[in-house]
Chains A and B, each alone.
Chain A
């Protein structure tokens, strides 16, 4: 599992294509055959991974959208970002802090 901190800046890999449909997201990688379905939080994370915002800024943005305590949201987002990076959907921005 790749270690992700709030300072990490991630972006979607260039071969990732996705569609957001009724909250969830369907994700394809051009270099792989599998198709993934992400839940609403996962879809939001994928959308926020624009290579400019840090993971900490994602957490702040999502805190305004979802109810619940901020500590568990932060934990979930960090874990989700690591999973998406592990799955090859996200990558660290070149020159940014190493995950």
Chain B
């Protein structure tokens, strides 16, 4: 299927540049890893919805940041999609200096000339529908910004005891949410059970909290903002609980598979591989087998710092 054909009535009319009719003159700067991210061209209702969803992460336009302009798009431009049982996806069309994006009630583009900037076209003006469109765009933008910062966005569960963090990897159904619940029950904190940011600082790799969560974790802040990463763990469910060391190559393979959007982008995959190789070499990796009623949290804490 050609780009956009699953979402757009006229994919051939996809905007060729970041231009259009803004919804309004409001702006919000979001303090999220890799940011801030400045969203402008907002209607008052769109600004309110973002402040409701992201709370204290929302600042004023003066904070600046990676710029995105938000534009109007007629609802008739988008195909109706029955979302019952539908797994959310974005259609991506990467190019060396640009990325076109089509999704549920959104069109977007990122351009890297001269610096990373975005545009988002949507018919959604308010409420959860708009906030969801915006969050789905922000997930994509964050993945690319983190890569520019030498970091990565990872589909993962991030758990912490306040001093260290553990990154739990696995495909959908591997048990990230179950594992997060076990860690919560054991006294740990869940940074996010869906998407986490890894960045390198002076002390090495750190897990940075993101407001992109599944059932667990907090969107609007609270808990530690950034924690040193103690280990990367590939999840396996089973009755015989325990740890098995993973080779750096096996860890790298799991990390690449967990890096959404960018791992499908031929023009940015090389940079992603370099970042994740650094991570695989810097942080010990294990396969952890755990059971639904088991002692996962204790197993994680037994890993030496």
Binding site for B on A (CB under 8 A): 15, 17, 19, 21-26, 28, 30, 33-37
Contact = CB atoms under 8 A, between A and B. Distances in A.
B116 interface: no
A23 B257 CA distance: 20
Contact of A37 (B249, B263, B264, B281): B249
Interface stretch (B78-86, B145-153, B266-274): B266-274
B264 A26 contact: no
B218 interface: no
Contacts of B264: 33
Interface in B257-288: 257, 263-264, 266, 269-270, 273, 277, 280-281
A49 B263 CA distance: 24
A22 B256 CA distance: 17
B252 interface: yes
B247 A22 contact: yes
Given A26-B253, A28-B273, A30-B266, 9 more contacts: A19-B252, A23-B249, A24-B250, A26-B252, A28-B263, A33-B257, A33-B263, A37-B250, A37-B253
Contacts of B273: 17, 19, 26, 28
Instruction: Enumerate the 3 nearest inter-chain pairs by beta-carbon distance, A residue then B residue, closest first.
Output: A24-B249, A30-B266, A35-B253
Pick from B252, B264, B270 the residue with the most CB of A within 10 Å: B252
A28 B256 contact: yes
